[in-house]
Structures are given as structure tokens and as C-alpha cells.
Amino acid sequence: MKDKEKAAAPPRDYDDPRRAINRDGFSPDLPRALVSSGDLSGVGWPMRLALYMLSGMQKGSLDVFLPNGSVRHFEGSQNGPHGVWRIKNSAGLMRHVLASGEVGIGDSYLDDCWDSPDLARLLEVLYLNEPYYKGPFEKNWLGRLYGYWQHRRKSNTKKTARKNIEHHYDLGNEFYKMWLDETMAYSAGMFIEPTQTLQDAQINKFKLMFERLDLRPEHRVLEIGSGWGGFAIYAAAHAGCHVHSITLSQEQLVEARARAARAGVADKVSFELCDYRDVSGQYDRVVSIEMYEAVGEEFWPTYFEVIAHALEPGGQAAIQGITINAAIFEHYRGKRDFIQKYIFPGGMLCPPDRFADLSRVAGLLPADARFYATDYADTLAQWHRNVLSVRDKIVQQFDERFLRMWRYYLAYCECGFRTGSIDLMQITLRKP
């Protein structure tokens, strides 16, 4: 089943870059008549090379604001989104792009080489046109090999997995509280109605997973990946069941226990610092919400074997996870992307069919796969708005480069869901 039908959401304030709020000291409000081929006087070879690469684009349109103040407009022959790209440092941009291709675009954003009033929309345009760029884009095989090697070094062995999780989740609970909603759910919400809040959407997600598990008071539930305890607390409160939830994040562990106590379910929910490979005992139900992505390809079989061994005969699991389009999987797995470099070291996404096949090999029966890409894109857009609303606090706690990294991460993921390169799947796995 594909994304459920729903009424069109109200436009974001930055849906049309020409009407965008000036978020980065840059306003793209120019009459269309001024957007032309532009003046290349004083433009060095890095910017000329960038413009040459972009001249092959075929989808959507793009306005490039050059460092000399002129504007170049690119119009593809196929319909698509419109992006606005303000280049500040063309030499820095091209140095990164020539070294790392797609990842280099993100690296150069972190170095403040460019800006856009709508990162996600710009990245959509750039991603959709990757197959059509002219020149040396993504041609540096040494750079790709080095990135791949660095990714492999972060493989999620038991020793490395703890470090990889700490890298992301132990940034501090106060940081995540700045921009997550009251549920502290750091996974996709489900916007069943277009007017619903992010908190409504997260509760919808809990409800959908709860219904998949068909939870009853007598059930013993294993949760692989606690987050900050949102689903475990919801399940215990609504079904009266007992939930054993595991995490590798000390920060999440402390907060989840405190939240369970405040919710009055501490007697029904236990949180433990534990690697999923060390799970013992059997359960009636297993749930895992956006955790498999951090496992890594070589440990996918182990992940499904753990679920199968943990389930009593006749038991079932509900999994929510991000999947990748099978058409681009081989290209994706042969390099390191921005997320793997900066956000989730050692992570890897799996195509839906392969996900199902791996579960079957472990003795599980996959059923009722449903996909929610639009919901995740909308969740990410809301998170991005929330981050922007507390940007000064984030810069004060970390620095400007960290803020740019986080913004690019959220926009990069939103782009993936909007363009169809990745999707969000909920699926049930049954043990005969």
C-alpha cells in the first residue's frame, strides 16, 4: 500500500523560494526579468566549471546567484521543483565537489560556501539532475574509495556500535528537547489529518504500531531501540502489558526511565542499556522503530535472527524502518553518503524486498507492508522549522557549523523522501 491519500497540506512559508522568508541573510526576491544568463566577468574557473556541470540539468529549474552578484538561470525540459542557490565561495564549493561529489556539496555547505532559502527544495533539484551533470561530478574514484573505507571502519561491531550511537544520541537530552515535540519521538509521525500537529502525528504512529502488535495485558514485549521511551510508555499505558526496552544510549536511558516514572508506568516498563545481540529470553511481541537503519548491512541477518529467537511461537513483531529504492541500492552501498559520514556512522538502508527476504531466511513471515514517505518528509520539514526557531540556542550550545550540519541533515533526508530515493515502511513479521 502506498502513501495514504490525504488533503494537500498548507504550503510552507518557503515552498516558493521567491517568496521565502530571509532565513540566512539572503533574499531571492528578484523580478523574473532580472534572472538571465548573467554576467561572468570576474568569475574564476571554479564557478565556470560549476556552471558547466549544471548546464546539463533536465528537471525543474534553478537560479544560481554568483559571487559577483549576477544570476544564472537553468531551466530543464522536464517539470520539477525550483531551487535557489547562492554561491559564496566557488573555489571552496568546487574543491569539495571534485573531491567527494554529492557528499562534497554537503561538506561545502558546512564550510559556509553557499546558502539557499529552502535547503530541501534546492537539494531536490540537485538530486534529480545528478544523472545529467556534465564534467567531473562523482568521477573521483579515489575519493569514493576513501569514503567507502571510512564507512567500513565504522562497522557496527559490539564495540563500535556503542560509540556510533553515542556519537548521535548522546549529544544531550536538552538538545533534542529544543525541537522535538512532547512525546520526544525521534521518528516519523503519521499526519492522518492535514491540520494535525507534530505531536498528534507521533501519537498516530504509536497507535498504528500498537494496533499491528494487537497488544493485550498479558503480553511481554521486547522493544529494540528505546528512543526516549515514547512507544514503550504508550504501550504500557494503553494495554497494561509489560515492556522490556533496550538502548545503547546512556542519555536516552536516563530520560526514558524518568518519563516512564512521570507517566505512572515504571512498574510495567523496564529500560536497559543492552546491545540487541545480547538479548535473552522470549517474548510475545517485539517492536523496533527506526533502529535497524543503524545496524549495518553485515549485521542485518543477525538482527532478524535476534527477533526470531526472541519471539515465542505464534508471536509477532512490528517494525518501522527507512528503506531505499532498489534501483539505487548498489550505487548507494558502494560509497559513503552525508548521513553515514556525519550523522549515523556505520548505518545502511535496505530495499523493501531484501528486507522481507532477510526476515524469511530468519524464519519470520513478513506481512502488510505499508509506506509513508510523505509523512516522513512532512515530519522532517516540521523538525527543520523547529530547529530554526531555536537556532541561537543551538549555536550557543554547539556552534554555527553544527547548526548547518543539522539543517543539512534534515533537508537532505526530506529531499530523499520527496524524490522517492528512500521511503518509510511499517511491516509485521510473524513467527510460525
Distance, in Å, from the CA atom of 314 to the CA atom of 152, rounded to the nearest integer, reads 37
Answer yes or no: are the C-beta atoms of 147 and 336 closer than 8 Å. Answer: yes
**What is the DSSP track for 184-225?**
---S----SSTT--HHHHHHHHHHHHHHHHT--TT-EEEEE-
Please name which of 358, 346, 350 lies closest in space to residue 323, comparing C-alpha atoms. Answer: 350
Phi, psi (5° rounding) for residue 304? -70, -35
Three-state DSSP class for 115?
Answer: strand
Three-state DSSP class for 74?
Answer: strand
Distance, in Å, from the CA atom of 25 to the CA atom of 170, rounded to the nearest integer, reads 31
Answer yes or no: are the C-beta atoms of 54 and 74 closer than 8 Å. Answer: yes
Nine-digit cell string for 406: 543539522
Task: Give the helix/strand (H/E) hosting 42.
Answer: none
Report how far apart, in Å, the C-alpha atoms of 172 and of each of 110, 178, 405 are.
21, 11, 16
Please name which of 234, 233, 237, 241 lies closest in space to residue 215, comparing C-alpha atoms. Answer: 241
Distance, in Å, from the CA atom of 405 to the CA atom of 289, rounded to the nearest integer, reads 24
Q: Looking at the annotation, which residues are catalytic?
A: 413
